[in-house]
């Protein structure tokens, strides 16, 4: 479930919406085309709060639910080494969108899967939009989307967004993930060294205790071990939790919980 408090800080007002969708993808995969096809005229553009990065936000309804959709900057990764990557990562990490749609280029699948796997480390609420499927066909490339969905552990929907092909299936997949009818079991690589394994064994339970229900404690722990300043700040300030639940903000136990995180493990 999305984090309305953090979303407000990220410039998204959820008052009249049931769900918020993030649209991620490498540049030139057809993200904006998908965005336009889903929202039509119900969209507006601006900047991310406090940043000079352009942002498009739109709305649509489907199956009696109101959706907001945010077009994230096109990126090849989420390591937050550029402003675009930071904006995209922060939105998925702190906004906790109900669904993250990752638009990939079916003709350049291998390169695109890098971002898919990074998104799947942060959230299990994802749908892969396998776009430019017409181009793939033209190049006699066949993608086994069922196999891909099984291997990734999230729905994969082939589309040719410019022609409107597959968009109904995409909407249906988004709806099923948003409403919890489909629950992802994302593929997550595990190939850490014994030392990292040991550190994770200490750190992960403490992160889970401080932030119950966090879908990505292992990833957060790995980023902390990597010395990620932004995540350390987020842990200290309780940003990863559900700020919409007042008891977690108010209760001193919440603050006390945060102090459980042994930052000496991190340095």
Ligand X SMILES: Nc1nc2c(ncn2[C@@H]2O[C@H](COP(=O)(O)OP(=O)(O)O)[C@@H](O)[C@H]2O)c(=O)[nH]1
CB of 88: closest distance to ligand X in angstroms?
Answer: 12
- Element housing 15 (H / E): none
User: Are the CB atoms for 221 and 203 separated by under 8 Å?
Assistant: yes
Decide if residue 29 touches ligand X (CB under 6 A): yes
* Segment interacting with ligand X (CB under 6 A) among 8-16, 59-67, 128-136, 172-180: 128-136
Q: Give every CB contact of residue 183 below 8 A, 6+ residues apart in sequence.
A: 124, 177
Determine if 123 is a binding residue for ligand X (CB under 6 A).
no
CB-nearer residue toward ligand X: 7 or 161 = 161
Q: Are strands 126-131 and 99-105 parallel, antiparallel or unpaired?
A: parallel
Structure tokens at 124: 């299990």
13 makes contact, choosing from ligand X, Mg ion, none, with CB < 5 to 8 Å by partner type, with none
53 versus 214: smaller Cβ distance to Mg ion = 53
**Identified binder of Mg ion from the candidate list 8, 11, 18, 32, rule CB under 5 A:** 32
Instruction: Give the nearest distance from C-beta 78 to ligand X in angstroms.
Output: 16
Give the bridge partners for 69, in sequence order. Answer: 21, 58
Q: Rounded CA gap, 128 and 170, in Å?
A: 9
Residues 73-112 that bind ligand X (CB under 6 A): 74
Which segment (24-32, 85-93, 120-128, 225-233) binds ligand X by CB under 6 A? 24-32
Is residue 117 within 8 A of residue 189, CB to CB? The reply is: yes
């Amino acid at each position: 479930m999305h984090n309305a408090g953090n979303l407000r800080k990220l410039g998204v007002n959820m008052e009249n919406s049931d769900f918020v969708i993030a649209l991620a993808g490498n540049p030139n995969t057809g993200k904006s085309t998908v965005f336009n096809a889903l929202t039509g005229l119900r969209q507006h553009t601006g900047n991310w709060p406090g940043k000079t990065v352009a942002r498009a936000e739109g709305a649509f309804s489907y199956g009696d639910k109101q959706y907001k959709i945010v077009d994230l900057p096109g990126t090849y990764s989420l390591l937050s080494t550029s402003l675009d990557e930071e904006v995209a990562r922060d939105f998925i990490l702190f906004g906790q969108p109900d669904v993250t749609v990752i638009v990939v280029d079916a003709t350049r699948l291998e390169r695109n899967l890098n971002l898919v796997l990074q998104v799947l480390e942060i959230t299990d609420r994802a749908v892969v939009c396998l776009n430019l499927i017409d181009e793939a066909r033209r190049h006699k490339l066949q993608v086994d989307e069922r196999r891909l969905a099984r291997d990734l552990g999230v729905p994969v929907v082939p589309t040719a967004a410019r022609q409107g092909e597959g968009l109904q299936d995409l909407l249906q997949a988004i709806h099923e993930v948003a409403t919890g009818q489909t629950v992802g079991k994302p593929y997550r690589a595990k190939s850490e060294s014994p030392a990292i394994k040991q550190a994770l064994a200490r750190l992960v339970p403490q992160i889970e205790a401080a932030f119950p229900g966090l879908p990505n404690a292992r990833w957060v722990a790995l980023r902390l071990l990597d010395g990620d300043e932004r995540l350390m700040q987020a842990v200290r300030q309780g940003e990863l939790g559900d700020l919409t639940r007042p008891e977690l903000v108010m209760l001193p136990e919440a603050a006390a919980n945060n102090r459980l995180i042994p930052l000496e493990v991190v340095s």
